[in-house]
Amino acid sequence: MLGQNEEGIKKRMEGRVLKNKIMAGLFFLATSVGLIFLVLLFYRVLTQGIGYLNWNYLTSGPAPYPEEAGIWVGMIGSIMLMAIVAIFSVIIGVASAIYLEEYASQNKFTEFIRVNISNLAGVPSIVFGLLGLTFFVYIFNFGYTLIAGGLTMALLILPVIVVASQEALRSVPIDLHQASLGMGATKWQTIARVILPAALPGILTGTIIALSRAIGETAPLIIVGAATAIYTLPDSLLAKYTAMPIQIYNWTARPQEEWQFVAGAGIIILLAVLLLMNSIAVLIRNKFQQRL
Amino acid sequence: MTKISEETQETRTGGLTSKPVVDRKDKQQKRESKNVMQVEDLNLWYGSNQALYEINMDVPEKRVTAIIGPSGCGKSTFIKTLNRMVEMVPIVKTSGSIKYRDQDIFNGNFKQEYLRTKVGMVFQSPNPFPKSVYDNVAYGPRVHGIKKKEVLDEIVEKSLKDAAIWDELKDRLDANAYGLSGGQQQRVCIARALAVEPDVILMDEPTSSLDPISTSKVEELVQELKKKYSIIIVTHNMQQAARISDKTAFFLNGELVEFAETDDLFQNPQDKRTEDYITGRFG
* DSSP symbols for A123-149: S-HHHHHHHHIIIIIIIS---SSHHHH
Contact check, Cβ <8 Å, A178/B123? yes
Q: Domain limits at A172? A: 73-291
Task: Give the β-pairing of B255-261 and B103-104.
Answer: unpaired
Q: What is the DSSP letter of B132?
A: B
Lowest mean pLDDT among A119-133, A174-188, A273-287: A273-287
Cα–Cα distance for residue pair A164/B160, rounded to 1 Å: 39
Taking only residues 186 to 215 of chain A, the set having a beta carbon closer than 8 angstroms to any beta carbon of chain B reads 186, 189, 193-194, 197-198
The per-residue pLDDT for A291 is 53
* pLDDT at residue A51 is higher than 70: yes
A241: CATH? 1.10.3720.10
Contact check, Cβ <8 Å, A173/B127? yes
Query: Nearest CA to A125 among A221, A242, A24?
Result: A221
User: What distances in angstroms separate CA B233 from CA A194, A216, B120, B245, one per listed residue?
Assistant: 26, 58, 12, 8
Chain B: residues touching A (Cβ < 8 Å):
83, 85, 88, 90, 113-117, 120-121, 123, 125, 127-130, 139-140, 143-144, 178, 189, 192-193, 196
**Count of residues making up chain A:** 292
CB A248 within 8 A of CB A217: no
The per-residue pLDDT for B168 is 92
Lowest mean pLDDT among A46-55, A141-150, B218-227: A46-55
Cα–Cα distance for residue pair A222/B219, rounded to 1 Å: 70
The per-residue pLDDT for A97 is 95
* pLDDT at residue A209 is higher than 90: no
Q: What is the DSSP letter of B43?
A: E
Q: What residues contact B211, with CB distance under 8 A and at least 6 apart?
A: B182, B183
A227-266 pLDDT per residue, tens? 777 777 888 888 888 888 988 888 888 888 888 888 989 9
* Residues of chain A contacting residue B83, judged by C-beta atoms under 8 Å apart: 182
Cα–Cα distance for residue pair B52/B246, rounded to 1 Å: 23
Residue A109 placed within a domain:
yes
Lowest mean pLDDT among A165-179, B20-34, B178-192, B232-246: B20-34
CB B116 within 8 A of CB B170: no
Percent of all residues in chain B with a pLDDT value above 90, rounded to a whole number: 77
Q: In what order do the strands lie in the sheet with B64-68?
A: B103-104, B92-100, B35-46, B49-60, B255-261, B247-252, B64-68, B230-234, B200-204, B119-122
Q: What is the mean pLDDT of residues B79-102?
A: 92
Contact check, Cβ <8 Å, A183/B125? no
* pLDDT at residue B4 is higher than 70: no
The per-residue pLDDT for B16 is 42
The class of domain B3-127+198-278 in CATH terms is alpha beta
Query: Nearest CA to A213 among A100, A31, A95, A89?
Result: A89
Cα–Cα distance for residue pair B72/B89, rounded to 1 Å: 16
Q: Which segments of chain B are extended strands (E)?
A: 35-46, 49-60, 64-68, 92-100, 103-104, 119-122, 200-204, 230-234, 247-252, 255-261
Residue A3 placed within a domain:
no
Percent of all residues in chain B with a pLDDT value above 70, rounded to a whole number: 88
The per-residue pLDDT for A223 is 87
Kindly list the domain boundaries of chain B, sorted by start residue.
3-127+198-278
Contact check, Cβ <8 Å, A198/B130? yes
**Count of residues making up chain B:** 283
φ/ψ of residue A145, rounded to 5: -120, 170
The per-residue pLDDT for B215 is 92
CB B55 within 8 A of CB B86: no
Query: Nearest CA to B37 among B89, B98, B122?
Result: B98
pLDDT class of A1 with cuts at 50, 70, 90: low
Cα–Cα distance for residue pair A52/A247, rounded to 1 Å: 15
Q: What is the mean pLDDT of residues B120-147?
A: 94
Q: What residues contact A252, with CB distance under 8 A and at least 6 apart?
A: A259, A260, A263
Count of structural domains, chain A = 1
A81-116 pLDDT per residue, tens? 999 999 999 999 999 999 999 998 888 888 899 899
* pLDDT at residue B20 is higher than 60: no
User: Minimal Cα–Cα distance from A88 to chain B, Å?
Assistant: 30
User: What distances in angstroms separate CA B106 from CA A205, B83, B93, B118, one per listed residue?
Assistant: 42, 10, 11, 15
Residue A260 placed within a domain:
yes
Single-letter code of the amino acid located at B69: G
Q: What is the DSSP letter of B176?
A: B
Q: What is the mean pLDDT of residues A10-30?
A: 93
The per-residue pLDDT for A213 is 85
The number of angstroms, rounded, from the C-alpha of A116 to the middle of its chain's C-alpha atoms is 20
Tell me: ipTM over 0.95: no
Across chain A, how many H-helices and E-strands are there? Answer: 12, 0
Contact check, Cβ <8 Å, B90/A176? no
Burial class (CB in 10 A: 0-12, 13-18, 19+), A146: buried
Q: What residues contact A139, with CB distance under 8 A and at least 6 apart?
A: none
pLDDT class of A222 with cuts at 50, 70, 90: confident
CB A82 within 8 A of CB A277: yes
The number of angstroms, rounded, from the C-alpha of A212 to the middle of its chain's C-alpha atoms is 3
Residue A88 placed within a domain:
yes
Cα–Cα distance for residue pair B16/A164, rounded to 1 Å: 51
Coil vs helix vs strand at B29: coil
To 10 degrees, the CA torsion angle through A81, A83, A84, A88? 140
* pLDDT at residue B23 is higher than 70: no
Contact check, Cβ <8 Å, A179/B128? yes
